[in-house]
A and B are shown apart, each in its own frame.
Chain A
């Protein structure tokens, strides 16, 4: 079970997720310290391993920096649920073996602090706090396979 951290905002961009002043490293642990820093300086303190970030439309817009995904992974975020995602960020997440869930109306259906459980392959979020089941379109099989193999490069080198 994971706790949801809800940001009722659209266009949360890569500069907010990991500011460029920290791009002089590619170490996930170092990046994680600054995860979401310009959006919510307290994020890293309140996010426990496996917690989920919930946001509005166009999450991850801006730069192609995969550092944004590494920072989130380094902070041990379990998944991101957003109403929609920016293209490069979405692709980077799958390539890094990190789950992204596209859920229309996400910021209305999940409240900050809700306890949720996600079945990625079936495409169902169980909101334990509200007692609701939210369906989403699961990722295509090939993307789930990449994620389960630990990312694109591990996926390629296994083949």
Chain B
């Protein structure tokens, strides 16, 4: 029976020869991602139910990120609970502060993501890791607790949609613009419960960092997972990043595999996109919204806080000054160091940006850049829901690092091609 990538990985994880969409399976989990908001409650639940077991301390990766460094006493208590548990359970891959980073940037960078594996995490953007040809999905705290204890979870095999990204991205247009255009076309529930499989020449040209921006936002279309096939670019990234366990299995979609829908995009015709408030599906070409005055620019997050993103922003800001508050957040300590080593930190400083330690921070309205009422922020993050970055009366405009940097300089939504 022909199968697509998602089905093949889930079949293997369930110990079956084949599965098809709609099957309920019990899957073996390869890697579990744990952070500071959803894991402490999972730990408490396990304790309350008299379950003390951790299925495999080598296959759980722990990093505080949402509110780290602790933003207040309550979040410090969450960190304390997480830290105590990680040490007690001898979690091998624990990244305390100094090593900690935004989870979805940190795990691939530190070599915890391999093709063909089943990865779950207590965070909706866990779908990011699908960029490596893995099945990866976000779960809540109860599922997380069950997975930590048993190494297994039940899943319904999702139907798959195929997104063919044709053509070549024009200058000034990036993978963020692509995924905003995809979500604008299908809506925030356009892929509800489904797998989003991405393919096509424009995708093939993208670096792994750029591909992760695409799969990161699969959840913003309601998807269970986003997934991208393995190629030479994937292999090269893995060769550079995998550490202790370097073997993996690659699964490709069969040519006759079934998809409930196939959507084609001509990326050559794409323009820089901005998702207007208050849904990630509010994407419009920059030409339709340029000139809108902003109060803040935010460059960071699991969507666009990687070194490539910082390079793109720095290139635009070099020798210029920002007109509004601009916050730059390298997603991991390694990215932070690279930024400094490459001189990007100085460019941001000279331009008048504030650069923070790695954190999810203001992306979710946690801290480090909260918006007041009636303020507007152009942000490289993934959500622009009401109140997402602060006051329920504030507004978030989602864009690429290039558009955010150009808008920071002008103080209003600006086409980044103006600076190229």
Do A and B share a complex?
Answer: yes
Q: Give, as a whole number of angstroms, the nearest-CB distance from B104 to chain A.
A: 12
Residues of chain B touching chain A, judged by Cβ–Cβ distance below 8 Å, are 37-38, 40-41, 44-46, 48-51, 66-67, 71-72, 74-75, 78, 122-124, 126, 138-143, 145-146, 149-150, 188-189, 192-193, 219, 222, 224, 279, 364-366, 370, 383, 385-388, 390, 392
B140 pairs with A25, CB closer than 8 A: no
Q: Write out, one digit per residue, whether chain A residues 109-153 have a CB within 8 A of any chain B CB (1) or not (0).
A: 000000000000000000000000000000000000000000111
11 A-B pairs whose Cβ atoms sit less than 8 Å apart in the complex: A13-B386, A15-B365, A15-B387, A21-B365, A37-B392, A57-B189, A62-B219, A62-B385, A64-B139, A66-B141, A157-B50
A87 pairs with B224, CB closer than 8 A: yes
Name the residue in B40, B45, B365, B385 with the highest tally of chain A Cβ atoms < 10 Å from its Cβ. B385
Name the residue in A10, A15, A25 with the highest tally of chain B Cβ atoms < 10 Å from its Cβ. A15
Q: A21 to B362: give the CA distance in the assembly, Å.
A: 10
Q: Which of A48-72 contact B (CB under 8 A)?
A: 57-58, 61-67, 69
B385 pairs with A15, CB closer than 8 A: yes
Q: List the 6 closest A-B pairs by CB distance, nearest first.
A: A24-B74, A95-B142, A92-B140, A66-B140, A26-B41, A20-B364
Given known A-B contacts A87-B222, A153-B146, A13 and B385 have beta carbons under 8 A apart: yes
A24 pairs with B75, CB closer than 8 A: yes
| Complex contacts, A26 vs chain B, CB 8 Å | 40-41, 44, 78, 141
B138 pairs with A88, CB closer than 8 A: yes
Instruction: Please count how many residues in chain A sit with their CB below 8 Å of the partner chain's CB atoms.
Output: 39
Name the residue in B71, B149, B188 with the highest tally of chain A Cβ atoms < 10 Å from its Cβ. B188
| Complex contacts, A13 vs chain B, CB 8 Å | 383, 385-386
Q: Which of A65, A69, A86, A156 contacts B189 (CB 8 A)?
A: A86
Which residue of chain A is the closest to B40 with respect to CB atoms?
A26
Q: A66 to B71: give the CA distance in the assembly, Å.
A: 21
A64 pairs with B222, CB closer than 8 A: no
A11 contacts B by Cβ under 8 Å: yes
Q: Which of A17-31 contact B (CB under 8 A)?
A: 19-21, 23-26
| Complex contacts, A157 vs chain B, CB 8 Å | 49-51
Given known A-B contacts A21-B366, A152-B143, A15 and B386 have beta carbons under 8 A apart: yes
Q: A108 to B67: give the CA distance in the assembly, Å.
A: 41
A39 contacts B by Cβ under 8 Å: yes
Q: A21 to B363: give the CA distance in the assembly, Å.
A: 11
| Complex contacts, A152 vs chain B, CB 8 Å | 142-143, 146
Q: Give, as a whole number of angstroms, the nearest-CB distance from A36 to chain B.
A: 11
| Complex contacts, B49 vs chain A, CB 8 Å | 153-154, 156-157
Q: A152 to B385: give the CA distance in the assembly, Å.
A: 30
A73 contacts B by Cβ under 8 Å: no
